[in-house]
Structure 1
């Protein structure tokens, strides 16, 4: 561990506190431009390097931050940061040289058990910060580190089998701390922070809805399996009151169309029947996957 009174220790703590405030306790993303606003002792301090994925300030003992750049669903990712069979995340080295300075800086952060910030790309130049994260061990043959969003430390060890109940726990907690916030930030960005069904633009009332639930094998945490929805329309979608056709037309369950109730049913649901989604992503590659919509719509029709 670093000295709690050191400049490096203060930067880590202050940066995480600042990010908590600037991202509304993790509800909002932050741009690379806005990250330039961070300062300590009245002086600007970079949390990201302009070109490098691993940020190690010159005076620091170890890396401060890592980055995963956003990749459109139609493009291949330059680095494959994925979940292993044990439920733990992996973060790739810079290149394949173990002695590259950036790889050494991560190794030192691992040795000192230092917290890092993971800037996960949710759009071009836009990030969802995840912190603190820790490096558990290194897998040199695969050119990667095992990374943990403060879930598995003290519960797992290198080369020790992870029991199934523990693997499920790690996966569940990792989804909550990394995948779900990143999924939400990505989906809300491409829908311009508006409900796809009604165009409501109050972020606190919006969810990132899965077309195919994430508990299913097809329920991938990809923007193409997501829809930005207000909480009413999200609940209606999940409970098969509202369906969306593969060509993005809203359908309301037939029995509700005949029902008489208050203004929410009339204006919020019945009047959307047969109408096209009000908000769709500009980039075609980020729009809902038609096959996933077809599966969800079939389930809606047979409910």
Structure 2
């Protein structure tokens, strides 16, 4: 396949993913997106054993993958946000000239869009696209990624460009951390509200126990709750709280109100109801965070 087909193949892959991920909002399993049809051939897209996927028909890397790491585990590669707000993606191995690393570098040189599969469970991924390699850092065995077109336009901020770095960080949070956090939390709670058991995914949010504006408000499952929209708003507003024994508390003045069925059944009836917890102990709410947030709830009451 000629290099001129590189962009067409990527556009075809992204359109194909749009149909299977509801425009990138729904997770996919690795076997379901391992390859896609293009010009009469099957083109590799997400390989089980390779972090950087360069199909045999293309010259440059088409996709990259971040593997699943259990809470508290150590990932095999450190894919993390840098001080400039851009995500760093590690080379494979220690040789910058390894063929997969060269393929990733070629995507950078020609500014070709790449698809990034971020694992939220074993063999379950959230697809982020288009992603662009905006800097190559071979001395540190990694590249820098722009998570969106607008972040790509901003480029790599210099150390003295504080405002631009903040903008890049905000975009990274918006385009990467928030969608991945939501997918991980909803997956842990089996796509239902932890308070009322509602299972309509389109009405579910990932709520932070400690807000992301605070130091301990990191986007990790033990700092998250899967909540329907009404209970998310109520939790954020300290109308509802979560006790350290993982039972729901309702603010005293709300319990004393008289109103319609939503107040009675949607809020007041939540008093003392046990939270539905994830199956995995490691995904349960972090008790220290819950205690800290409960003290805030009590102060609000």
TM-score by length of 2: 0.95
| Partner of residue 53, structure 1 | 51
SS of the residue corresponding to residue 186 of structure 2 reads helix
Indicate whether 1:156 and 2:155 are aligned.
Answer: yes
Q: 2-side partners of 1:58 and 1:156: how far apart?
A: 30
**Contact 2:193–2:226 under 8 Å retained in 1:** yes
Q: 1-side partners of 2:249 and 2:192: how far apart?
A: 19
**Aligned runs of 1:208-287 on 2, under 5 Å?**
208-277=206-275, 279-287=276-284
Q: 1-side partners of 2:35 and 2:90: how far apart?
A: 28
Q: 2-side partners of 1:97 and 1:33: how far apart?
A: 29
**Aligned runs of 1:123-134 on 2, under 5 Å?**
123-134=121-132
Q: 2-side partners of 1:15 and 1:156: how far apart?
A: 25
Q: 1-side partners of 2:10 and 2:50: how far apart?
A: 19
SS of the residue corresponding to residue 302 of structure 1 reads helix
**Contact 2:221–2:285 under 8 Å retained in 1:** yes
Cα RMSD between the aligned structures?
A: 1.6
**Contact 1:30–1:127 under 8 Å retained in 2:** yes
| Partner of residue 288, structure 2 | 291
Q: Which moved more, 1:206-215 or 1:17-26?
A: 17-26
Residue 300 of structure 1 is aligned with which of 294, 297, 300?
297
Give the direction of change, closer, same or farther, for the CA distance of 1:225–1:21 in structure 2 (3 Å limit). same
How big is the shift at 1:153?
A: 2.5
How big is the shift at 1:70?
A: 1.5
**Contact 2:35–2:46 under 8 Å retained in 1:** no
| Partner of residue 30, structure 1 | 28
Q: 1-side partners of 2:111 and 2:28: how far apart?
A: 26
How big is the shift at 1:141?
A: 2.3
**Contact 2:241–2:248 under 8 Å retained in 1:** yes
Q: 2-side partners of 1:18 and 1:111: how far apart?
A: 25
**Aligned runs of 1:160-199 on 2, under 5 Å?**
160-161=158-159, 163-199=161-197
Q: Which moved more, 1:34-43 or 1:264-273?
A: 34-43
Q: 1-side partners of 2:176 and 2:262: how far apart?
A: 34
How big is the shift at 1:163?
A: 1.1
Q: 2-side partners of 1:139 and 1:36: how far apart?
A: 29
Deviations for 1:7-63, whole angstroms, at most 9, x for unmatched residues? x32221011112122111222111112214732345443311120111001121100
